Structure 1
Amino acid sequence: MNSTITENTINARVLRREDQTGDIAAFELAAADGSPLPAFEAGAHIDVILASGLIRQYSLSNAPGDSVYRLGILNDPNSRGGSRQIHESLREGSEVRISAPRNHFPLDPKARHSLLIGGGIGITPMIAMAYALKAADLSFELHYCCRSESRAAFLEELKREFGPRLLLHFDDAGDANLVDPKGLCQSAEAGTHLYVCGPTGFMDWVIEQAKAAGMPKGSIHFEYFSAEVETGGEAFEVVAAQSGVRVQVGADQTIAQALKAAGVKVEMYCEQGVCGSCICDVLEGIPDHRDHFLSEEEREDNDQIAPCCSRAQTPRLVLDI
């Protein structure tokens, strides 16, 4: 498996920009030449390729079947610059290169009920999911968690489109208003699936609460778009099987950095183990998984690794790269 950016990028134009809050803007994109955009499913995201060379992933936040792609982007002061560049440079009429949609966060069609929990800007993929579930007349709840009502993007749209299926949880409204993932999962009917997106700490908490409530691992779905990762550890050897290059990965070096220094190219965009662009096959050795992309089942197989952040449990890894 190697989930790299598509070579055939799309030249898109910003049809509309709407500042939702002081730090969140919505961008509606269409193909610059007027041709139809590739269809997408709820949970999908696209890569945005900036003029500076930075590549960032953003969820599509509108209804599948729409003729445009809508992104909701937080101008995050703690980001590595991508969101700031987008907020500063993209206006109505601006052109930008994007990828076709990819979906690592799909809805499960077998779910009897869906709990959608979005924290902050993590609401964006949940909006597309809610539209898809509503169109299919399927049972769901959309829980929107935010610090305050003034920081909640798309709020009027969500109230209008989803009515009583929308539940709002604002931190400044008191503890009684906070979301209770454990309680939601414990009281949910059999066959319920949980979907969560948001800041790393929030997602980790929701996932652990769901597990504590006894929800099966296969019914808990999530997608990280940023994460703090610890990449340091004991030194080990990596062999790039396709070229025969052998490198020593130092204690404070990533596999990708060591390979790059030896002339081996590794496709890599997030550098945090969340986008999957660098995933490659493991031919020998046992990985020390530190990514947020592979599922628990995929990690247990130990036949894939994210070289941007993961390390080795064995003295040597042989990678199909």
Structure 2
Amino acid sequence: MTQPLQNFPLRIGAPRHVLLAGGIGITAITETARVLRRVKARYTLVYVGRSRDRMAYLEELTEIHGGDIRVHVDDEGTSLDAGALVDEIAADGPTELYMCGPIRLMDAVRRRWHDRGLPAADLRYETFGNSGWYEPEEFVVSIPALGIETTVGRGRSLLEALEDIGAEVISDCRKGECGLCQIRVVRVEGRIDHRDVFFSDEQKKASPKMCACVSRAVRAPSTGAPAVLTIDIP
């Protein structure tokens, strides 16, 4: 047992801060925004969601942060242009960007950040493992070397399913960040939905590995049968 760990620390003292929260990612950003307001730092809170009724703390945050919060709501036609946000940051001078949200949103920001040549150390983010490129669906995982096979339900992770059947996999963060739970993909009837931030885009395309804690398998568009993932574990 340890004391709580802070893996998403705020560096007070940057010339400017931009806080980007998508959906449930606001839970990680709310306290950061409160601290910056308290120390009278220069900051902008950008809150993104599908609809106002699904955006937690929206009314409270709007009241607290006033002109320092910008809200983008998909249902209202005001979706965030991630590239434009990064361009704005680049034009405004040294800025630290803190973000937490769906992997698609964060990938878009990270790519634009890299393309603009902005300092990698000024882009900080925290992930959560329930967002990917595809909706979660049931799939089958098979481990021929151990002679076992099981079904991974939509509400369970691959790592949890493996633990349920006694296939031990080393793990730590369970958020797709540390890479300890990586397994080798022998074959997949369908496609891999990589939801981690441990592997680079190039590694995800070239490597036969995936993070069991967050990544999943999904069926191919041409078939209605569940995906079948055949793996090998260390």
- The bucket for the TM-score relative to the shorter chain is 0.5 to 0.7
1:128 Cα deviation after fit: 0.8
1:274 alignment partner in structure 2: 175
1:210 Cα deviation after fit: 2.5
Structure 1 residues 291 and 175, CA, compared in 2 at 3 Å: closer, same or farther? closer
- C-alpha distance in structure 2 between counterparts of 1:212 and 1:232, whole Å: 38
1:161 alignment partner in structure 2: 64
Structure 1 residues 171 and 281, CA, compared in 2 at 3 Å: closer, same or farther? closer
Structure 1 residues 152 and 101, CA, compared in 2 at 3 Å: closer, same or farther? same
C-alpha contact 1:227 1:274 (8 A) present in aligned 2: no
Secondary structure class of the residue paired with 2:196: coil
- C-alpha distance in structure 2 between counterparts of 1:187 and 1:292, whole Å: 30
Secondary structure class of the residue paired with 1:222: strand
TM-score, normalised by the number of residues in structure 2: 0.59
Q: Deviations over 1:197-233 (max 9, x none)?
A: 1222222222223223322222111122123389999
1:80 alignment partner in structure 2: none
Map 1:1-321 to 2 at 5 A. 6=1, 101-174=4-77, 180-190=84-94, 192-225=95-128, 226-228=130-132, 264=168, 266=170, 273-274=174-175, 280=180, 292=196, 294=198, 308=213
Q: Would you tell me which structure has more helix in proportion to its own residues?
A: 2
Supply the AA of the counterpart residue of 1:184. Answer: E
C-alpha contact 1:146 1:152 (8 A) present in aligned 2: yes
Give structure 1 stretches of 5+ with no counterpart: 1-5, 8-99, 238-246, 300-304, 311-315
C-alpha contact 2:97 2:123 (8 A) present in aligned 1: yes
1:264 Cα deviation after fit: 4.1
Q: Deviations over 1:169-211 (max 9, x none)?
A: 2224435875632322222312x11111122222222222322
C-alpha contact 1:259 1:266 (8 A) present in aligned 2: no
Supply the RMSD in Å over aligned alpha carbons: 4.6
C-alpha contact 1:197 1:203 (8 A) present in aligned 2: yes
Secondary structure class of the residue paired with 2:27: helix
1:38 alignment partner in structure 2: none
- C-alpha distance in structure 1 between counterparts of 2:53 and 2:127, whole Å: 24
C-alpha contact 1:143 1:167 (8 A) present in aligned 2: yes
Supply the AA of the counterpart residue of 1:292. Answer: D
Supply the AA of the counterpart residue of 1:152. Answer: M
Give structure 2 stretches of 5+ with no counterpart: 153-157, 186-193, 204-209, 216-231
Q: Deviations over 1:226-273 (max 9, x none)?
A: 23389999x898xxxxxxxxx7999x997887787566475578xxx5
